[in-house]
């Protein structure tokens, strides 16, 4: 199951911009190195390495391992050994920014700008630091190299320039910086939103609503756009329109803590604050949005840099912190993710989700007891919190404690007065737990309930269809289920394997081979799929290839019970099965 934090991601058009933004980023802000992110770099044990070559190689290795904290420390050590090396200087600044060590990064960025006045990384770092220090003039002076480069630096410069003028209350010049910017069409995703935010910040309600309405119409599912637009409407005495914007989002399945917070604020009767309350916060919002877009392309190091710069401008920017933690999480830097998630204050609407993610990251670090304690506390505090219940159940299920998992999922289901489409996962996961604890009638009922809530859901169709086939039950229906699942996910190796195994159970071995070969191409390192292909090869007389596939499966760390069967086949070949194709029926129970 995807991590719980996925539902917090901004589903705006920024995602579709990621490829276009990210491609230019990778070539723009760094001279060398691998893509990743890091936390602070001050407390890393460099193992006494002091030579240039040793430190450099250690830094490259740390970067490859996505341990950017260590990489930053080793690059600084290499720079100490060769202080005139601009490549090392550039790389060190990048890593220090990405790790959040901004004071050190700024100090070295001064040196980098002095040695290379056109360096865009130095320009970006010094621009943001000047804004953080309340010096918009110095910020504009520092950003000059950004305006003469690739699209992303140019857009970044325009957004920061606009907010620098907003800091001086020169709103006309701020809006002109964005309105006059020429470039790719995707610029408007950012310039329309931020020109609306600046107009709202300036108290120009009509202008703000016009601009934010355009941003909202372009992407009504973008959380930050929706939030800014609804707040501007409310502040312009158009409260009913603001409520309608929020209600439409929720009615279409939107489930976001910040939207709920906004809904509560609109219903309270109290004045609604603007989204942006300072020019620094506006600049931080711009960097946050760009960081999200870059990160979706896979440029984690660069995304981390933007998010860290946003936090440098506004340390309490919870969305930037949350996104930074999610970025670490995506790179399997679970300890760093936990550290950042813990910075989300308890008063934040994101706090419970952050705590859920802490539990999931503890589990990913094999700290199962701590994970269960963290998540159980959330469930105990609010037994109706289905996100926490799902997380706890999934942690238990990942530990193969299926009995406890089915109990937790059941507790969540009991809180539902009338299950809705979005609740299908509860029944699906409980179905898995029931199946793994030999409660098949209950499992089948759960799977069918999940399909009632979400017809033709491919994961459910696959699991139920595969289980029925494996139990030699309702074969025709099961095969049709899996065919439907494959039609929806033709590149999912597990689902394609299920179809191949269905054909195998029906004795249609040539068709089974074709599907299972495709499944192995899609999932070459899965022991079960390789084992299935070996069985199918044996049945069509390709016994040498069968032995080869079984050997592959044996070496892929299969489950102990599967390993024993594979070893038997390697020693004696495939033995006739009492439940072969001739005996498979569509009865309720196998013969």
Tokens at 62, concatenated: 């740390």
Angle between helices 475-488 and 493-505 (to 10 degrees): 150
pLDDT for the residue 23: 35
> Which has more confidence, 135 or 54?
135
Token output for 136: 């918009």
Q: Is 221 exposed, middle or buried (0-12, 13-18, 19+ CB in 10 A)?
A: middle
User: Tell me, what's the pLDDT at 99?
Assistant: 86
What's the CA gap between 499 and 510, in Å, rounded?
A: 13
**How many angstroms separate the CA atoms of 553 and 558, rounded?**
7
Least confident of 57-61, 170-174, 379-383, 426-430: 57-61
User: Does 255 or 341 have the greater pLDDT score?
Assistant: 341
- Please work out, in degrees rounded to the nearest 5, the angle formed at the alpha carbon of residue 149 by the alpha carbons of 148 and 155: 90
Joined together, the tokens standing for residue 39 give: 């936390």
Q: Which helix (H) or strand (E) holds 506?
A: none
Look at residue 575 in the predicted model and tell me its pLDDT. Answer: 87
Would you say residue 589 has pLDDT above 50?
Answer: no
> In angstroms, rounded to a whole number, what is the distance separating the alpha carbons of residues 322 and 244?
28
For residue 325, what is the enclosing H or E element?
helix 318-330
Residues in the chain: 591
- Residue 304's nearest CA partner among 318, 276, 325, 286 is 325
**CATH code linked to domain 456-591:** 1.25.40.10
Please write down the HEC assignment for all residues of 221-280: CCHHHHHHHHHHHHHCCCHHHHHHHHHHHHHCCCCCHHHHHHHHHHHCCCCCCCCCCCHH
Reported as a single tens digit per residue, the pLDDT across 181-201 is 998 999 999 999 999 999 999
pTM reported for the whole predicted model: 0.80
Instruction: Give the whole-number percent of the chain exceeding pLDDT 70.
Output: 86
Provide the terminal-to-terminal Cα distance of the chain, rounded to the nearest Å: 35
Confidence of residue 202 (pLDDT cuts 50, 70, 90): very high
The DSSP secondary-structure symbol of 575 reads P
Distance CA 549, CA 519 (A): 13
Taking the C-alpha atoms of residue 356 and residue 205, their distance in angstroms, rounded to an integer, is 38
Query: Do 143 and 161 meet the contact criterion of CB atoms below 8 Å apart?
Result: yes
Q: Look over the chain and give the mean of its residue pLDDT values, rounded to a whole number.
A: 86
Give the percent of the chain with pLDDT over 90: 70
**Radius of gyration in angstroms for the set of CA atoms belonging to the chain, rounded to a whole number:** 28
Question: From CA 318, how far away is CA 353, in angstroms rounded?
Answer: 12
At 320-337, the pLDDT tens digits run: 999 999 999 988 889 999
* Per-residue burial over 451-481, b = 16 or more CB atoms within 10 Å of its CB, e = otherwise: bebbeebbbbbbbbbbbbbbbbbbbeebbeb
Among candidate residues 523, 463, 466, the one with its CA nearest the CA of residue 491: 523
Alpha-carbon dihedral sign for residues 189, 194, 200, 205 = negative
The rounded distance, in Å, linking the Cα atoms of 260 and 422 is 17
- pLDDT at 297 (0 to 100): 66
Question: How high is the pLDDT of residue 168?
Answer: 96
CA distance 275 to 288: 14
The residue whose two tokens read 């200087």 is 89
Token look-up 């933004």 returns: 21
Confidence bin at 54 (pLDDT 50/70/90): confident
Q: What separation in angstroms does the CA of 30 have from each of 120, 305, 445?
A: 9, 11, 55
Q: Determine if residue 254 is left, alpha or beta; phi over 0 gives left, psi from -120 to 50 gives alpha, anything else beta.
A: beta
Residue 273 main-chain phi, psi, to 5 deg: -75, 150
Looking at residue 344, what is its pLDDT? 94
Least confident stretch, 13-27, 417-431, 483-497: 13-27
In the 3-class helix/strand/coil scheme, how is 380-430 assigned residue by residue?
HHCCCCHHHHHHHHHHHHHCCCHHHHHHHHHHHHHCCCCCCHHHHHHHHHH
Give the residue from 304, 316, 239 showing the smallest Cα distance to 278: 316
Closest CA to 317 of 356, 352, 290, 282: 282
Q: Between residues 186 and 13, which one has the greater pLDDT?
A: 186
Q: Which whole number is the average pLDDT over 536-550? A: 96
Note the Cα 382 to chain centre separation in Å.
25
């Amino acid at each position: 199951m995807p991590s719980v934090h996925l539902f917090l991601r901004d589903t705006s058009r920024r995602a579709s911009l990621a490829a276009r933004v990210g491609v230019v980023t990778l070539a723009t802000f760094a001279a060398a190195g691998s893509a990743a992110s890091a936390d602070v770099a001050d407390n890393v044990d460099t193992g006494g390495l002091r030579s240039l070559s040793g430190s450099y190689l250690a830094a490259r290795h740390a970067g490859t391992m996505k341990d950017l904290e260590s990489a930053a420390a080793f690059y600084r050590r290499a720079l100490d050994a060769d202080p005139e090396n601009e490549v090392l200087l550039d790389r060190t600044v990048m890593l220090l920014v990405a790790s959040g060590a901004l004071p050190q990064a700024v100090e070295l960025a001064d040196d980098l700008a002095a040695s290379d006045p056109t360096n865009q990384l130095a320009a970006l770092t010094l621009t943001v630091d000047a804004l953080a220090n309340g010096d918009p003039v110095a910020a504009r002076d520092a950003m000059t190299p950004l305006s003469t480069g690739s699209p992303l630096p140019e857009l970044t410069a325009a957004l920061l320039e606009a907010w620098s003028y907003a800091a001086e209350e020169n709103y006309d010049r701020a809006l002109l910086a964005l309105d006059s910017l020429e470039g790719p069409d995707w610029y408007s995703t950012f310039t329309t939103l931020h020109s609306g935010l600046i107009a709202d910040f300036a108290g120009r309600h009509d202008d703000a609503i016009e601009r934010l309405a355009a941003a909202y119409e372009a992407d009504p599912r973008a959380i930050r756009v929706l939030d800014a637009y609804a707040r501007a409407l409310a502040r312009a005495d158009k409260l009913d329109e603001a409520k309608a914007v929020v209600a439409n989002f929720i009615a279409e399945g939107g489930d976001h803590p910040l939207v709920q917070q906004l809904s509560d604020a609109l219903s309270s009767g109290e004045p609604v604050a603007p989204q942006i309350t300072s020019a620094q916060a506006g600049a931080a919002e711009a960097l946050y949005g760009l960081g999200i877009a870059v990160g979706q392309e896979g440029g984690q190091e660069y995304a981390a840099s933007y998010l860290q710069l946003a936090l440098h401008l506004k340390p309490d920017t919870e969305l930037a912190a949350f996104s930074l933690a999610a970025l670490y999480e995506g790179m399997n830097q679970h300890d760093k993710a936990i550290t950042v998630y813990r910075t989300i204050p308890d008063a934040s609407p994101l706090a419970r989700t952050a705590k859920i993610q802490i539990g999931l990251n503890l589990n990913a670090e094999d700290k199962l007891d701590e994970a269960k304690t963290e998540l159980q506390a959330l469930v105990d505090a609010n037994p109706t919190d289905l996100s926490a219940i799902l997380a706890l159940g999934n942690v238990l299920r990942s530990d193969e404690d299926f009995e406890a998992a089915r109990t937790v999922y059941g507790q969540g289901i009991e809180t539902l007065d009338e299950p809705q489409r979005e609740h299908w996962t509860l029944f699906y996961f409980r179905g898995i737990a029931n199946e793994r604890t030999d409660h098949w009638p209950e499992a089948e009922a759960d799977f069918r309930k999940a399909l009632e809530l979400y017809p033709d859901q491919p994961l459910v169709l696959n699991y139920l269809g595969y289980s029925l086939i494996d139990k030699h039950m309702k074969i025709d229906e099961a095969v049709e289920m899996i065919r439907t699942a494959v039609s929806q996910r033709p590149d999912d190796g597990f689902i394609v394997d299920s179809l191949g195994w269905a054909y195998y159970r029906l004795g249609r071995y040539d068709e089974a081979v074709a599907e299972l070969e495709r499944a192995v191409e899609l999932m070459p390192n899965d022991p079960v799929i390789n084992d299935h292909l070996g069985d199918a090869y044996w049945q069509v007389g390709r016994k040498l290839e069968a032995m080869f596939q079984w050997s592959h499966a044996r070496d892929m760390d299969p489950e102990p019970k599967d390993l024993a069967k594979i070893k038997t086949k390697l020693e004696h070949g495939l033995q006739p099965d009492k439940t072969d194709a001739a005996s498979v029926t569509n009865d309720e129970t196998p013969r």
